[in-house]
Chain A
């Protein structure tokens, strides 16, 4: 699955366009019922067959089909990540990992935001930061830690140096070799976790596009508690704009 398959029309969108990520793209808000369980079971079987086609030695270790919607959702996310890892490892294709990274970051950001609000209200997030800054810092820390653990656990870092978390991305076209630090980078996609909306008007976003790895997209991930359409993709602007 590629970003274009996940978000039809993305490829044809004009440079600099902002494409909202639909909630159902992450499979979170769907209701839990028998039809959903059947669909999820079929989807799991499909993912398992895809991974086995890529890696005949791969086996799915499971104690059985989960009985709760949360468990079923988690199993699907695990299988999607395993498929993306197989594509990276065997085919050298990072596109599925670009999608799964986006999905994982959104889930991590949502969970982190809820925890941060609870901790802030309990007086556990101390310091001289405003509420938004304190929550934003916690969300950043949590998402980066989670991503590093995912890439470690699914053995992504062993196969690609283009999968990076919070690493400097240089723009060597400038005399001082300036750099930006996206929260994550997978191939030619940069990811930024933020509470505040950002666009091409933001120097940070423009800086990402100017980096030597020439990202085609910047994915802005914001906790869904901040409202519908909180996360979105910004296309690479055309040259000269």
Chain B
């Protein structure tokens, strides 16, 4: 398809599905499936940042600002990295871990507070 538009995660669990695989795509974020020939570092970070925007009310302003800051630093590091063996790639992956921790933290809090998801269940979403 020529008009590739990344899917923007809508929930915290969908956001985790976006964040974790970014470790395997770093640092170039090129498509290796054939389905997304226009996939790029820009499209993947667009989905990431817009995804955090979708859950902004759930994670709060402080965490939202921290997520955007981490994402900006991640992208800058990956743009400097040559390939997956470049030590900078692992530096960026450590920042992905920080995003995973942030999402896990919010989900755990939502479960502890018995906050319900859009299907009226306590799942962390």
Q: A-side interface residues toward B, CB under 8 Å?
A: 61, 70, 73-75, 77-78, 81-82, 104, 107-108, 111-112, 115-116, 118-119, 122, 124-126, 137-138, 141-142, 144-146, 148-154, 166, 168
Contact = CB atoms under 8 A, between A and B. Distances in A.
The secondary-structure label for the interface of chain A is helix
B97 interface: yes
13 contacts: A70-B34, A77-B34, A104-B33, A107-B33, A107-B34, A112-B24, A116-B24, A124-B90, A138-B21, A141-B16, A142-B20, A149-B7, A153-B7
B21 A145 contact: yes
A82 B61 CA distance: 41
A145 B17 CA distance: 6
A112 B21 contact: yes
B120 to A, nearest CB: 11
Nearest to A170: B119
Interface in B10-62: 13-14, 16-18, 20-21, 23-24, 32-37
A141 B35 contact: no
A119 B24 contact: yes
A153 B32 CA distance: 16
Interface of B: 1-7, 9, 13-14, 16-18, 20-21, 23-24, 32-37, 84, 90, 93, 97, 119, 121
B35 A78 contact: yes
A122 B1 CA distance: 34
Contact of B20 (A78, A107, A141): A141
Q: Which of B7, B36, B97 has most A Cβ within 10 Å? A: B7
A122 B119 CA distance: 39
A119 B21 contact: no
Contacts of B2: 61
Contacts of A150: 35
A153 B1 contact: yes
A52 to B, nearest CB: 16
A150 B7 CA distance: 8
A104 B20 contact: no
Contacts of B4: 153
A152 B34 contact: no
A78 B34 contact: yes
Contacts of B97: 126
B14 A148 contact: yes
B34 A74 contact: yes
A166 B35 CA distance: 20
Contacts of A75: 34
A166 B1 contact: no
B5 A166 contact: no
A124 to B, nearest CB: 5
Given A108-B33, A115-B21, A118-B24, 15 more contacts: A61-B2, A70-B34, A74-B34, A74-B37, A81-B35, A111-B32, A125-B23, A138-B21, A138-B24, A142-B17, A142-B24, A148-B17, A153-B3, A168-B119, A168-B121
